[in-house]
Chain A
Amino acid sequence: MMVGIMKMKYLDHGFKIIIETFNMIAKSYIIGVVEDIDLHSITLKNKEGFLIKIEVTSENFVFSDYFIRPKKFSKLSVSKLDIIKIEKRGGVKILFKHGSNDNLLFVTDQCNSSCLMCSQPPKNVDDIEYFYKINNEILSLIPKDIEVIGISGGEPTLLGEKLNLILKRLKLEFPNTRVHILSNGRKFFDKNYVSRLSLDINKLATFGIPLYSDIATIHDYVVQAKNAFYQTAIGLHNAARFGLNIEIRIVITKLNYERLPKLAKYIFMNYPFVEHVAFMGVEYTGFAVVNSELIKVNPDVYMDQLKEAVLFLNSMKINTSIYNLPLCLVHRKLWPFSVKSISDWKQEYSNDCKLCEEVNICGGFFRTSRLKYNNINPILEKKYNE
């Protein structure tokens, strides 16, 4: 086994980083599994089996989540067996968190829609090749028995053939892993595309596809794309025809909350084959902040409609969940559908939550959300079974 050493030196002012290592010169980053770690050094094993030790030579800097940072900001959450990427300039990014069910392959920043509440606004950059390489490295490094892995972007279907290659690889090397792909489903409009996809995909894979309204113009407006509704609608049927598993994802905004019960009925009548329907609160970052005037609505305003929609789908035996809403803002009848959905690294609780009896089953809110709910109301008596 070969061992390489990389030394990172810092100038005290700013973040200029000099990297000295024999095989880092050609590449702009290193990806590997964390074998050993402390505040000043980290040992990675890359996909060829090389061990690379990285040391921070300046006393004032340490490793942290995103970047090698001045000591006082440090909050180290990288741990053994995680897969991380270290960039030339010293950026550290966790690509795969060991033991978490939230891992995903990020495939592109590009998208063919531009949803008003997108938390991760699309970028028009040619990044497919770049992420494809990284994701393949990740796939070489992660354990073959992981339970679930996500694929997200951007819009994964923009990858074309490369998405098929990733899916094929997952199917072959990870036959028991549940693959969860977030797509707007518009590409599924093309029957031949779906047909090919269905051959490359593992039986446990699910596509999470958004449908924001039963009315075409509302859906199109929310995703800012004409004919998106028709494409997705036909896409959903094509997906069903070729046996793909489907989850419908509904982000609740001011634009669509009034018709949630009608949307629920529409989904049941037209897409009764879906495996799961998820109603989701907004994460106020990205476009959601820019467009907050247009989309922002407090959960108490739409709770009646949400209740009707969720209970309807449930009574029609469609699996239904609510994501991203603090429990105290959700009607008690809907608690059984509330899921702790916010990734642990994005999750946050308020000061009031310390008093709350249900803090353990509540998912809290997005640390990344720029607009906070103003009516958090700690639950002081347990009444879950009421």
Chain B
Amino acid sequence: MITYSKERNLITCLVDSSIYNMDIIFKCFYWYGKLFSIEICKKEDFVEILIEKKEGIIDEVMFNKLRLKIKQDLIDFKTRDIVTKETKSVRELIIAKAFSNLSDEEEDIIFTSPVDR
């Protein structure tokens, strides 16, 4: 739920913490830090995010744009979070495999560009 208070020049965002974990929320609102100052408070089963514009005011048009963007970003960052977490171990495996020491007669395969051959 995203609401806007004209008097306080503040957007309040309530996020269900059973859907969006703190990693997602931090990573998502990190990018809003250029124009806004962000405050994140953990409540019972939701998280409250207070978004305040650093300079100037938030008008209706900006709010509507922001609301859509925040919703979209939350979904995107949730998707990213799933990928990051589900692939953590396979990622480590790839890196370990890539830099593992091979036995003597084996040569590491590293491609070279046909131009350099």
Contacts and interface: CB of A to CB of B under 8 A. Distances in A.
Interface of A: 195, 237, 240-243, 272-273, 316-318
B113 A317 contact: yes
Contact of B114 (A240, A243, A317): A317
Contacts of B111: 240, 272-273
Contacts of A318: 114
Chain B interface main SS type: loop
A94 B7 CA distance: 97
Interface in B12-28: none
Contacts of B83: none
A211 B109 CA distance: 20
A195 B114 CA distance: 24
Contact of B115 (A237, A242, A273, A317): A317
Interface in B73-117: 105-109, 111-115
A240 B109 contact: yes
Contact of B107 (A241, A273, A316, A317): A241
B113 A237 contact: no
Given A241-B108, A317-B114, 6 more contacts: A241-B107, A243-B107, A272-B113, A273-B109, A316-B114, A318-B114
A195 B109 contact: no
A240 B111 CA distance: 9
Interface string B49-91: 0000000000000000000000000000000000000000000
- Which 9 pairs across A and B sit closest by C-beta, in order of nearness? A317-B114, A241-B109, A272-B111, A317-B115, A240-B109, A273-B111, A318-B114, A241-B107, A237-B109
9 contacts: A237-B109, A240-B109, A243-B107, A272-B113, A272-B114, A273-B111, A317-B113, A317-B114, A318-B114
Contacts of B109: 237, 240-241, 273
Contacts of A243: 107
Nearest to A199: B105
Contacts of A237: 109
Contacts of B113: 272, 317
A195 B105 CA distance: 9
A195 B103 CA distance: 12
Contact of B106 (A241, A273, A316, A317): A241
B25 to A, nearest CB: 36
Contacts of A242: 107
A316 B117 CA distance: 13
A240 B106 CA distance: 11
A317 B111 CA distance: 14
Contacts of A240: 109, 111
Nearest to A243: B107
A317 B117 CA distance: 10
Nearest to A313: B114
A195 B104 CA distance: 12
B109 to A, nearest CB: 5
Name the residue in B107, B109, B115 with the highest tally of chain A Cβ atoms < 10 Å from its Cβ: B109
B41 to A, nearest CB: 46
- Which one of B105, B108, B111, B113 has the greatest number of beta carbons of chain A within 10 Å? B111
B111 to A, nearest CB: 5
A242 B105 CA distance: 9
Nearest to B105: A195
Nearest to B114: A317
Contacts of B105: 195
Contacts of B108: 241
Nearest to A271: B111
Contacts of B112: 273
A242 B106 CA distance: 7
Contacts of B115: 317
Contacts of A273: 109, 111-112
Nearest to B116: A317
Nearest to B111: A272
A273 B110 CA distance: 9
A90 to B, nearest CB: 51
A195 B106 CA distance: 8
A154 B111 CA distance: 31
Nearest to A241: B109
Contacts of A195: 105-106
A92 B106 CA distance: 47
A271 B105 CA distance: 22
Contacts of B107: 241-243
